Amino acid sequence: MRTRVAVGRDRVVPEVRAATPLARRLRAPVTARAPWLTAVLDVQAARRRAGRPVAVVVGADGQPPAAAAFLQLRRRGLTTAVTMLGDGVPAPPGGPTARLLAADDDASAALAEGVLELLGGLHGPWSLHLAGLPLGDRTARRLAERFPMARMANERTAALVDGLDDVGPVARSTDPRALERVLPALLAQAPDAGARAFLRAAARLHAAAGRLEVAVPADRDGALLTLLDGPDRRPWWATPGLPGMRSERGAPAAAVTVPARSWLPAPDVARRLGGRRS
């Protein structure tokens, strides 16, 4: 299978959109779909030191991909930190938020090789931390197997539960105008300017696509934003202390980590690169 690498927002955006059928078929979370990742790319393009977005894609040019990984490269001192695209943005809690898309086992193997080639071509030391993945991710497991210092870890998540209807009447709407009425108050609760910028962009983009529900209690101050994906609902952002909202144990998520001291390519990658270091 042919593998290609796209670097920079203008080249990654088309790859994200081309992967839409694959993401839908694999039932990837809404936070691993084109609207969410496009919001990530748009916000990061306006920020200094946001790093470089990268797409590792398996498949023929002009055809829907068989596999794809959307990553972010950031310089931290002398080290290049490699993470999932969107790592660290305010995402809906309660389960995996990222996906290394692969149609089948062969595509997963080719995707892992493509990521290894990307790592092997970086200049200087690097670290790898791909978090928010579903348990048993085949590509993450393959990557972990190639580095002696790699670690696979699972973690529990806490889900945000919408119990607003149990407390009193609630007005629910997918009209973008409903979002604009509550957005200033919700943004005021964001921890920093970067989070506010992303919340604003992602909420408006999903509202315009009809994929965001705004819930406003009739007799209480506050609001809840919920991301929609067909019948699936992901409560995302709520006014702190809003009566009716609660947390409960969510689905586990997985991560693969290769620390910076393991910066040499895997032995077989090094051979293909002619023995040179990354």
CA-atom Rg of the chain in angstroms = 20
Taking all residues of the chain, what is their mean pLDDT, rounded to a whole number? Answer: 91
pLDDT score at 262: 46
- What is the DSSP code string of the chain? --EEEEESHHHHHHHHHHTHHHHHHTT--GGGSHHHHHHHHHHHHTSTT--EEEEEEES-TTS--SEEEEEEEEEETTEEEEEETTTTS---SSS-----EESSHHHHHHHHHHHHHHHHTSSS-EEEEEEEEPTT-HHHHHHHHT-TT-EEEEE--EEEEE-GGGTS-EEEE--HHHHHHHHHHHHTTSSSHHHHHHHHHHHHHHHHTT-EEEEEESSSS--EEEEEETTEEEEEEE-TT-TTEEEEE---EEEEEE-GGG-SPPHHHHHHTTT---
Q: How far apart are CA 79 and CA 129, in angstroms?
A: 13
pLDDT of residue 54: 97
Query: 199 and 187 in contact (C-beta within 8 Å)?
Result: yes
Query: What count of other Cβ atoms lies within 10 Å of the Cβ of residue 249?
Result: 10
Give the position of tokens 């609630």.
170
pLDDT for 277 equals: 37
pLDDT of residue 151: 94
Q: For residue 27, what are its two tokens? A: 């039932």
Domain residue spans of the chain: 3-157+251-272, 158-249
- Other residues' Cβ atoms within 10 Å of the Cβ of residue 274: 6
- pTM confidence score: 0.90
Fold designation for 3-157+251-272: Aminopeptidase (3.40.630)
Residue stretches of the chain with pLDDT short of 50:
262, 273-278
pLDDT at residue 109, as a whole number? 97
